Structure 1
Amino acid sequence: MSRHDTSCAGTPTANMGSLMTETHSSRLENLLTPLHRWRGLGSVDKYALYTRVSMQLIPVAVILGYLVGASDFLSTAGIPSWRLVVVGLYVLLLLIFPILIFEVHPDLNTRPRSPVEPLFRVGLVITVLGLVVSLALQHPSFSTADRLTAVIITVMSLFALSIAYVPWLRYSWLIILGLTLVVGVIVNMTVPVASWWVVFAPITVITVRMTIWTVNVMKEVEHSRELEASLRVTEERLRFAQELHDTLGQHLAAMSLKSEVALALATRGDDRLEDELRELQTLARTSMSQMREVVQGYRSINLATEIDGARSLLDDARITLHVHGAAGDVPAPHRELAAWLVREATTNVLRHSDATTVDLYLSDTDVRMTNDGASGAVGRLSGLGALRQRADAAGASLQVNCEGELFTVRLLLESAVPA
């Protein structure tokens, strides 16, 4: 086995059979690209996408319901077929806008999309006009065919308003209750049975508003986590800056004073100049030494602390961490290197996998971390490249392996590395 082994589910051979297999595999991979993209999304992105698609399916179901139910109702009532087609096209136009609005609305997305205002305004105008005209057509002076057709348009328009427009309007509760009352009374005079459908408008508004609230809460929680991580980094930088200031400030002040004294002695040709220069040199060396100690302390990490941190981060992501062994099982000279492996492997699990379980094995010969969420071939992971360089410097060996959905990063310690 080579010093740095990176493999994933076998090695291709240079023959026609393997080439055909590779071609079929690439086609299958293209078909599974949406699945890979889904796995690559964060939990909030997944929830937003799931919510968005679920809400888009509701207008689709209503359109299909019209094609089956409303058309049968109108045809039974003796409505001409051309009216059915016209109403069907209008219903299709009416409900296309909610689907497009859900797709780009910022409340249902975690990243900026196309502006929703133009779609919202045009769709709202079309829907309100359809509602007003259909209510007017239910006047007793119009024919039965006109009134029955108008009822279908009224119900569909009210549904479109309640699911895609009213939830985002100011005073939405007053608007939907007023619309429900007015539409319910008018429809009840035309087709009493259809008036029951009007009651679902307030329920639809409540459901949509609760859905929007849930998505926004999840986005705020995710933003809070990112802000907390940023604050931790800032706090660590401030701590490091404070340590440098406390360590070097006094020495730099003394060096400044010594340099002024040396300059004065040099001006007078005093024999004590040499002693002052030696003391200045000693201060400079002491400052450099203490600065190295501060930087080294800032860069060094602790294995036990990294394991606790990994457990906390993975728990937040609903990923279970099983630790086999203890930090003390790893030889002391390699614990810092093992800590870097735990940190980098945990980062890769959170960023690049769809894992539900992670296993960490600690022993005196190797340290390895395995997760069950590999979604494809091993790519270029810059963090592992830096870890490999650290392993080289310590006389250890880093191996990366992918078999099916299992992804393993293994650190062979110096005593276990083959000559």
Structure 2
Amino acid sequence: MNKDFWTAGWTARWFSRGVSLLASPVTAPLNSWRRLPNLAKYTLYTRVSLQAIPVVLLSAYFLGIVANAGTLNPSFVWLLGFSVILLIVTVLVYEYQPSLNSHPRRSVQPFFFTGLVLNVLGVVVSVVLQIPGLNMSDNTRATALIFTLTCVFLLSIAYIPWMNYRWVWLIAMSAVLWWTSTTTDYLSALWVVIPPLMAGTVRLSVWTVDVMKEVERSRELEASLRVTEERLRFAQELHDTLGQHLAAMSVKSELALALAKRGDDRLENELRELQKLTRTSMSEMRDVVSGYRTVNLATEIEGAKSLLADAHIHLSVIGTTSQVSPAHRELCAWLVREATTNILRHSDATDATLTLSSTEVRMDNNGVNKDIGRLSGLSALRSRAESAGMTLIVSREDDQFSVRMLINAPANTPAEKEA
């Protein structure tokens, strides 16, 4: 029986590994997609969509020609091979185009100029081959027309949208298509609308990517401004509290020094006043720091709701602050503050959940797009939690991030009065 048990366990383990290996080609790309930031997802989606347009349309176009032709002449085979090269260069132009990427990559210039030169030469040569005075064969002229349409299409969708004087180029491409249609097949006149249509589609896609980038920059700037605003507030409060006392202490110390030089009996009285002023300043400074450092759980939850709502993140709260013992509320309030800050700074979350109970306080969010790394705020909070007999656990699974404060022992911190 024991042997059968171990055999079954071994079989199940290897079966699980086999399933994981078979599923990895599907799950690995999906996991990589989930970890991407929202901006990177959108740029990747736009880039792949634009790459698919010429590949799908030209593939369907050439397959239709092959199906109708039956036998292929050598010139068409050469045309097909050269068109594949142009398509590959076009895909690379899209892949490395800065306006279609969320982060810097290798330069697009070599691919862009190579593709531009090849396509322009293709248009010129194919148009020349269609001149009636050259007396080319019907097969040659038909092949040249196909190549003209291919090059004009690729120029309109992958090159002209990023060029200066793009409307001049588009008019020229439409004129070329009109000329070829009037000299060969009038049905090809429908292609005249392709250059402005394709270029306009690409420019619209680039514009939407630019809007997404501006939104992301605005979000980062807003988070930075919030931190700067809080620093300025604290600095202003310190200045307002201690500025007057420090000025008075300076005057008192100068007076005491002068009295000491003269041996005046009033020196002792001035020193006592200076000592009193120093103690008052220290007391008020402690009040400022205490007010800045002491947090309230109910207030922090309301603040987290407001901050996350401003960032279009929905926060669901399960439980109430009364379920958390008063002795633990201050550290749990710090957990809410730090977790909220990390959601705003280090994720592209759309939903977050705060769970309150007598045994733990937990904050979960989605939208994690990179490794956890070292979070200094949570590291400091973990040390404080351990000294209070509590445990802080930080975990991540796929795009889900979780911070838990386990209340497993009485805290040594004083009870906090809830508002």
Q: Assess, with a 3 A threshold, how the Cα gap between structure 1 residues 290 and 16 changes in structure 2: closer, same or farther.
A: farther
Q: Is contact 2:34–2:399 with CA below 8 Å preserved after alignment?
A: no
Q: Quick check: 1:129 aligned with 2:121?
A: yes
Q: Is contact 2:360–2:406 with CA below 8 Å preserved after alignment?
A: yes
* Distance across 2 between alignment mates of 1:17 and 1:375: 36
What is residue 55 of structure 1 aligned with on the other side?
50
What is residue 36 of structure 2 aligned with on the other side?
41
Instruction: Give 1:229 deviation, angstroms.
Output: 1.6
2:234 corresponds to which of 220, 240, 243: 240
TM-score (norm 2): 0.82
Matches within 5 A, 1:361-400: 361-371=355-365, 383-399=377-393
Deviations 1:362-401 (A, max 9, x none): 2455322345778999986654433322222333333456
Q: Is contact 2:297–2:321 with CA below 8 Å preserved after alignment?
A: yes
What is residue 298 of structure 2 aligned with on the other side?
304
Q: Quick check: 1:151 aligned with 2:173?
A: no
Deviations 1:109-161 (A, max 9, x none): 11111222332222212111111211111112322122111111111111111
Q: Is contact 2:35–2:370 with CA below 8 Å preserved after alignment?
A: no
Aligned AA (1:111):
H
* Distance across 2 between alignment mates of 1:382 and 1:237: 17
Aligned AA (2:101):
N
Aligned AA (2:128):
A
What is residue 221 of structure 2 aligned with on the other side?
227
Q: Is contact 1:148–1:191 with CA below 8 Å preserved after alignment?
A: no
Aligned AA (1:41):
L
2:190 corresponds to which of 176, 193, 196: 196
Matches within 5 A, 1:260-275: 260-275=254-269
Deviations 1:98-117 (A, max 9, x none): 21121111211111112223
1:213 corresponds to which of 207, 217, 220: 207
Q: Is contact 2:296–2:333 with CA below 8 Å preserved after alignment?
A: yes
Deviations 1:65-116 (A, max 9, x none): 254123345x45x652x22221112111222222112111121111111222
What is residue 176 of structure 1 aligned with on the other side?
170
Q: Is contact 2:36–2:369 with CA below 8 Å preserved after alignment?
A: no
Q: Assess, with a 3 A threshold, how the Cα gap between structure 1 residues 177 and 385 changes in structure 2: closer, same or farther.
A: same
* Distance across 1 between alignment mates of 2:17 and 2:342: 29
SS in 2 for 1:114: coil
Aligned AA (1:106):
P
Moved more, 207-216 or 320-329: 320-329
Aligned AA (2:54):
P
Q: Assess, with a 3 A threshold, how the Cα gap between structure 1 residues 171 and 402 changes in structure 2: closer, same or farther.
A: closer
Number of aligned residues:
400
What is residue 4 of structure 2 aligned with on the other side?
none
Aligned AA (2:151):
S
* Distance across 2 between alignment mates of 1:382 and 1:18: 42
TM-score (norm 1): 0.82
* Distance across 2 between alignment mates of 1:26 and 1:376: 23
SS in 1 for 2:226: helix
* Distance across 2 between alignment mates of 1:166 and 1:283: 74
* Distance across 1 between alignment mates of 2:160 and 2:127: 19
Q: Assess, with a 3 A threshold, how the Cα gap between structure 1 residues 316 and 63 changes in structure 2: closer, same or farther.
A: farther
Q: Is contact 1:79–1:145 with CA below 8 Å preserved after alignment?
A: no
* Distance across 2 between alignment mates of 1:248 and 1:334: 32
Q: Is contact 1:370–1:407 with CA below 8 Å preserved after alignment?
A: yes
Instruction: Give 1:416 deviation, angstroms.
Output: 7.1
1:102 corresponds to which of 94, 98, 105: 94
SS in 1 for 2:289: helix
Q: Assess, with a 3 A threshold, how the Cα gap between structure 1 residues 194 and 305 changes in structure 2: closer, same or farther.
A: farther
Q: Assess, with a 3 A threshold, how the Cα gap between structure 1 residues 101 and 338 changes in structure 2: closer, same or farther.
A: same
Instruction: Give 1:180 deviation, angstroms.
Output: 1.2
Q: Assess, with a 3 A threshold, how the Cα gap between structure 1 residues 379 and 59 changes in structure 2: closer, same or farther.
A: same
Instruction: Give 1:314 deviation, angstroms.
Output: 4.6
Q: Is contact 2:305–2:315 with CA below 8 Å preserved after alignment?
A: yes
Instruction: Give 1:17 deviation, angstroms.
Output: 8.0
2:75 corresponds to which of 80, 83, 89: 83
* Distance across 1 between alignment mates of 2:378 and 2:393: 10
Q: Is contact 2:145–2:180 with CA below 8 Å preserved after alignment?
A: no
Q: Is contact 1:397–1:413 with CA below 8 Å preserved after alignment?
A: yes
RMSD between aligned residues = 3.5
Q: Assess, with a 3 A threshold, how the Cα gap between structure 1 residues 357 and 258 changes in structure 2: closer, same or farther.
A: closer
Moved more, 173-182 or 251-260: 173-182
* Distance across 1 between alignment mates of 2:37 and 2:397: 23
Instruction: Give 1:279 deviation, angstroms.
Output: 2.3
Q: Assess, with a 3 A threshold, how the Cα gap between structure 1 residues 305 and 179 changes in structure 2: closer, same or farther.
A: farther
Aligned AA (1:257):
V
Q: Assess, with a 3 A threshold, how the Cα gap between structure 1 residues 407 and 234 changes in structure 2: closer, same or farther.
A: closer
* Distance across 1 between alignment mates of 2:369 and 2:221: 29
Q: Is contact 2:170–2:196 with CA below 8 Å preserved after alignment?
A: yes
Unaligned regions of 5+ residues in structure 1, if any? 1-14
Q: Is contact 1:394–1:414 with CA below 8 Å preserved after alignment?
A: no
Share of identical aligned residues, percent?
Answer: 54
* Distance across 2 between alignment mates of 1:142 and 1:51: 42
What is residue 334 of structure 2 aligned with on the other side?
340
* Distance across 2 between alignment mates of 1:61 and 1:308: 52
Instruction: Give 1:210 deviation, angstroms.
Output: 0.8
What is residue 63 of structure 2 aligned with on the other side?
68
